[in-house]
């Protein structure tokens, strides 16, 4: 299918059938999904679609999804046939009219497809007729143009009749056929032939453009390797198709290989280049127990990965499905344009009729002139360019974002993001790393920082508490030797104790230190300062005396400050909503340069989101789990996360590369897309307005009129395709 007009025609035709409901047609995936009642028949649906010039293939019969061959326009839908639900994939016949390319055209360049052959045939007929008209009398040459016109009208006329029968009498084909036949009747067969040729050429360009947009989605499928090395029980490997590996299989991924599955590393360590999936350019270290994503590139050592998701449900497959579904979700602007065009076409036919009937009486035109100009008005009214202006830009914007780790679930979300007045961030795991780390080690007089850290790490050995893990990680990073500990014990909510090299050591809260009778001395002022900075401070005691202080905090992500600054530069207000204590929340907010509201329960967050929405659209950014209510309440919810289920399925959008700067990139992409939409609508309406005036004044005729429509279609399509080259680096902040 070529444009949104195709979607509307198929939808309307199928909805008229008995027992059919919930009809959805996805342009990019070329997928028809519907529900059949007891009196509905799938065969009737197939026959109805076939009458419009399309064939169908039931998804249940198509087998598991796999990457299509180059040049194939088959969709990536993963339909599951269930009782009462049917999904069909476009499998078109030889090209004619607005039809999809033939399966036989797969792999061919666009100029050799069936649709292109139709254009070249019509072009040869028109040029041949024109050449003969130079040597033959006009009365002999004129029939040649008539023949060319009639040959060209056969496929278009056939589908115009089918569309009228199926409930779309005011189709683009009807307008074009009416104008061409009328021109032939009044003796303008030459122009009628050129009109049909230009119309066919415009549809060829639409088809090429639609294919290019689909390429943006299909490029994701090429990230999957075709084969995988599955490990047998005896340790040997066997080469199997990547789509045949199953959950629980163990696969070997060698250096330089692409990871063929979603899974968990069981053995080995390596740096993985996840940029094909997340857009993150720096390879990340992964080892035993770490999750890996399909499509990542193993940069260093060999790893053994246990498969956790089947091929049809891995990260790449889910991203493809999400982008396809997103292109089917229409933005408010698109819905308005479609409603407008549904009135535009019959209105234009009425105006054309008035142009034919009134001027001979009111302005003294002769009937030939009024009919000719009325037919030209009819051609100008073709809403092709207007109808395709929004979905073409939206599809390109969604595809460009997906290829850069920015997933947006539909045109409505894409349109809303750019108009946001406020971005509300959760703190833990969103603006911060989600895990505490040691920020300060302050020794008491006569002790060293490494010595204090060694005592603290010794008594924390074996603990799974986040603070204990942070202390042990810091000791390892500094190369501190950790001694064995005896008689370890925990005082819940207060401290952890143990005997280290004959010393009775404890690490706990300042309250525990005071209750133990320890004097902080010169460290008291440092303790107060660290707590004002929002840090959790633990006091290390050795034989009842203060050995030192260890301060910890969940630190901001490396790019958090840059991400917040980028949002502010776009004229959007960033705020932080957190359930953490006020002192910690405000300390993090001040360091990042944004306002904060702390100590918020889930209900409090919802109220804050409601207040922000009263001032305009608001984006909520969270981890997609504990922030789910706030994500749902916001105008647009954005989940942070590297390919997790939550990141892909909970919110309206997801930043796969897990960077705060990705939120500003979403806003920039949305604004670039909506600017493209406005440009397209201006071109589509502006050209029609200009040629409407020139036609009524007698300056231009039939073929310039269709040239205006075809030209506008080409311009808006090419403009939309520019978005495929969008990149975050090219985005420029604007208020």
Which amino acids are annotated catalytic?
Answer: 426
CA-CA distance, 427 to 129, in Å (whole number)?
72
CA atoms within 13 A on the CB side of 40: 22
Query: Which residue from 175, 179, 188, 98 is spatially nearest to 142, judged by alpha carbons?
Result: 188
CA-CA distance, 361 to 349, in Å (whole number)?
20
Give the other-Cβ count within 10 Å of 476's Cβ.
Answer: 11
Given a contact cutoff of 8 angstroms between Cβ atoms, the answer to whether 545 and 423 are in contact is: no
CA-CA distance, 710 to 384, in Å (whole number)?
8
3-state secondary structure 367-401: HHHHHHHHHHHHHHCCCHHHHHHHHHHHHHHHHHH
Q: CB neighbours of 722 closer than 8 A, spacing ≥ 6?
A: 396, 676
- CB burial of 594-610 (b: ≥16 within 10 Å; e: otherwise) equals bebbbebeeeebbebbe
Q: CB neighbours of 300 closer than 8 A, spacing ≥ 6?
A: 255, 270, 271
Query: Which residue from 206, 109, 216, 2 is spatially nearest to 725, judged by alpha carbons?
Result: 216
Given a contact cutoff of 8 angstroms between Cβ atoms, the answer to whether 403 and 216 are in contact is: yes
Structure tokens at 201: 């050429």
CA-CA distance, 317 to 647, in Å (whole number)?
14
Do the bridges between strand 297-298 and strand 270-273 make them parallel or antiparallel, or are there none, so unpaired?
antiparallel
Q: CB neighbours of 23 closer than 8 A, spacing ≥ 6?
A: 11, 14, 15, 32, 33, 34
First-to-last C-alpha distance (Å) of the chain: 38
């Amino acid at each position: 299918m070529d444009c949104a007009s195709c979607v509307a025609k198929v939808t309307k035709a199928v909805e008229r059938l008995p027992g059919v409901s919930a009809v959805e047609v996805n342009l990019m995936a070329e997928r028809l999904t519907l529900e059949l009642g007891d009196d509905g028949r799938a065969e009737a649906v197939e026959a109805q679609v076939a009458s419009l010039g399309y064939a169908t293939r039931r998804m249940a019969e198509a087998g598991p999804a796999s990457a299509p061959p180059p040049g194939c326009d088959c969709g990536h839908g993963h339909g599951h046939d269930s009782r009462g639900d049917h999904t069909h994939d476009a499998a078109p016949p030889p090209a004619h009219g607005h039809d999809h390319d033939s399966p036989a055209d797969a792999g061919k360049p666009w100029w050799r497809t069936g649709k292109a052959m139709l254009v070249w045939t019509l072009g040869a007929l028109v040029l041949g007729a024109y050449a003969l008209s130079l040597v033959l009398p006009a009365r002999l040459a004129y029939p040649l143009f008539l023949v060319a016109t009639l040959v060209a009208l056969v496929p278009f006329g056939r589908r115009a009749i089918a569309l009228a029968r199926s409930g779309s009498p005011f189709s683009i084909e009807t307008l074009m056929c009416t104008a061409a036949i009328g021109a032939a009747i009044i003796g303008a067969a030459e122009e009628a032939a050129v009109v049909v040729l230009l119309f066919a050429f415009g549809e060829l360009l639409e088809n090429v453009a639609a294919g290019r947009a689909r390429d943006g989605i299909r490029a994701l499928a090429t990230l999957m390797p075709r084969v995988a090395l599955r490990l047998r029980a005896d340790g040997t490997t066997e080469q199997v198709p990547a789509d045949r590996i199953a959950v629980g299989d163990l696969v070997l991924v060698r250096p330089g290989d692409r990871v063929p599955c979603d899974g968990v590393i069981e053995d080995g360590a390596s740096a993985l280049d996840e940029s094909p999936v997340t857009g993150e350019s720096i390879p990340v270290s992964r080892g035993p127990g770490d999750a890996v994503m399909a499509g990542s590139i193993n940069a260093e050592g060999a790893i053994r990965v246990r498969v956790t998701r089947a091929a049809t449900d891995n990260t790449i497959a889910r991203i493809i499905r999400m982008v396809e579904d997103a292109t089917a979700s229409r933005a408010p602007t698109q819905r308005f344009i479609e409603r407008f065009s549904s009135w535009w076409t019959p209105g234009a036919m009425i105006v054309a009729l008035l142009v034919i009937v009134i001027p001979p009486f009111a302005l003294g035109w002769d009937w030939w002139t009024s009919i000719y100009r009325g037919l030209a008005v009819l051609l100008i009214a073709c809403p092709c360019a207007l109808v395709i202006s929004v979905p073409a830009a939206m599809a390109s914007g969604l595809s460009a974002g997906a290829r850069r780790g920015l997933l947006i679930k539909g045109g409505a979300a894409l349109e809303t993001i750019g108009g946001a007045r406020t971005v509300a961030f959760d703190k833990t795991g969103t603006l911060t790393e989600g895990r505490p780390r040691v920020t300060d080690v302050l020794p008491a007089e006569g002790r060293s920082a490494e010595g204090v850290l060694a005592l603290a790490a010794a008594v924390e050995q074996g603990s799974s508490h986040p603070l204990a893990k942070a202390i042990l990680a810091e000791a390892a990073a500094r190369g501190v030797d950790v001694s064995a500990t005896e008689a370890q014990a925990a005082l819940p909510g207060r401290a952890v104790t143990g005997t280290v090299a004959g010393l009775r050591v404890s690490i706990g809260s300042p309250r525990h230190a005071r209750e133990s009778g320890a004097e902080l001395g010169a460290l008291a002022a440092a303790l107060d300062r660290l707590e004002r900075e929002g840090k959790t401070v633990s006091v290390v005691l050795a034989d009842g005396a203060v050995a030192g202080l260890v301060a910890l905090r969940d630190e901001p992500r490396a790019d958090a400050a840059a991400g917040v600054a980028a949002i502010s530069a776009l004229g959007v207000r960033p705020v932080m909503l957190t359930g953490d204590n006020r002192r910690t929340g405000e300390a993090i907010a001040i360091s990042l340069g944004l306002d904060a509201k702390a100590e918020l329960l889930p209900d409090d967050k919802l109220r804050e989101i409601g207040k922000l929405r009263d001032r305009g659209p608001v984006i909520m950014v969270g981890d997609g789990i504990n922030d789910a209510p706030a994500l749902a309440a916001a105008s647009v919810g954005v989940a942070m996360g590297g390919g997790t289920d939550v990141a892909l399925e909970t919110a309206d959008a997801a930043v796969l590369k897990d960077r705060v700067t990705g939120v500003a990139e979403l806003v920039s992409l949305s604004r670039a897309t909506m600017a493209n939409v406005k440009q397209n609508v201006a071109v589509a309406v502006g050209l029609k307005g200009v040629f409407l005036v020139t036609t009524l004044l007698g300056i231009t005729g039939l073929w310039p009129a269709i040239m205006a429509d075809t030209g506008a279609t080409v311009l808006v399509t090419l403009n939309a395709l520019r978005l495929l080259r969008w990149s975050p680096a090219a985005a420029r902040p604007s208020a």
